[in-house]
Amino acid sequence: MTDGGLTNGLCNTDVSVYPAGMRVILTRHYQTRFNADGRILGWGNSPPYHDWKDNVDFIDTRLHENGINFDAVYSSDLERAQETAKIYADSFGTPEVISIPELNEINYGKLQTRKKSWVSKHYPQHKKDPDLVYPDGESFRQMQQRSVQYLSSLALAHPQHTVLIVSHAGVIRGIVSHFLGLEYASSLKHSISFRYIGDFLFNGNNCVRYDELGKPSGFVRDGVIEIPFSRPGSNS
């Protein structure tokens, strides 16, 4: 048993045994030059890194191998997520990408373009305190609240749909920690690869099953959870 009352290792990998609800496949955008250089990007833009396509091709292949078909493709409204989502939409024959600002990465405000090492040195609570508000920006908690609220409303509105969402590492950590009932502050530093593929099954706006189809996240590699992972009695 883990924090939040989640049951480890008791989840059937066949999604058909669970109550009908939205299935969400959540991935990260392509790697940018700022990502590779260890810089904060937030709401800014940066060109793709030279080998970005390897990661995108990996995810595209894994999704096809798993036989997943999408009713819709969503992304944040930031360029790197929109462009990545368009690649997957074209690959799966989905007519458009729906861009949602609530799925944007955290707004780092004045710290945008700073080296992550500089931010950690000058803001000791960086990625330790989710309520730290960055200058002219927002906190991780605020980012988590807006993205979780949007995903919850989406799951309630389209319970029979399977959707692909392309977002950001910060958003992914916030979504995983919320819907799996994990303590948020300790979740802020778990790594999210550019080959991460999260697989969420909802009943209403509760996540009853979680798995990973790509490179394991820090939540798995650090031993916080085991996958596949179920929470069949969730009322949160």
Catalytic residue status for 29: yes
Rounded to whole angstroms, the Cα distance separating 4 from 143 reads: 21
Tell me which of 29, 126, 168, 190 is the catalytic residue: 29
3-state helix vs strand vs coil in the chain, percent to 5:
35, 20, 45
As a whole number of Å, the end-to-end CA separation of the chain is 17
Q: Write down the pLDDT at residue 6.
A: 31
Radius of gyration of the chain (CA): 17
What are the pLDDT digits (tens) for 166-222?
999 999 999 999 999 999 999 999 999 999 999 999 999 999 999 999 999 999 999
**Model pLDDT, residue 7:** 30
At 109, list the tokens.
Answer: 């405000």
Low-confidence ranges of the chain (pLDDT < 50): 1-13, 235-236
Q: What Cα–Cα distance (Å) separates residue 37 from each residue in 40, 116, 134, 224?
A: 9, 9, 21, 28
Spatial distance between the Cα atoms of 198 and 62, rounded to a whole number of angstroms: 12
Who contacts 171 (Cβ-Cβ below 8 Å, separation ≥6)? 76, 103, 104, 105, 106, 143, 144, 147
| Predicted model pTM | 0.90
Between CA 232 and CA 208 the distance in angstroms is: 5
pLDDT for the residue 232: 59
All domains of the chain, ordered by start, with CATH? 7-13+20-230 (3.40.50.1240)
**Active-site residue, from 83, 102, 105, 138:** 105
Instruction: Please count the residues of the chain.
Output: 236
The helix/strand/coil state of 33 is helix
In sequence order, the 6+-apart residues with CB closer than 8 A to the CB of 65 are none
* pLDDT for residue 45: 87
Residue 142 burial by CB count (10 A; 0-12/13-18/19+): exposed, middle or buried?
Answer: middle
d(CA 177, CA 175): 6
Of the candidates 123, 74, 62, which has an alpha carbon nearest to the alpha carbon of residue 100? 74
Query: Three-state DSSP class for 37?
Result: coil
102 is catalytic: no
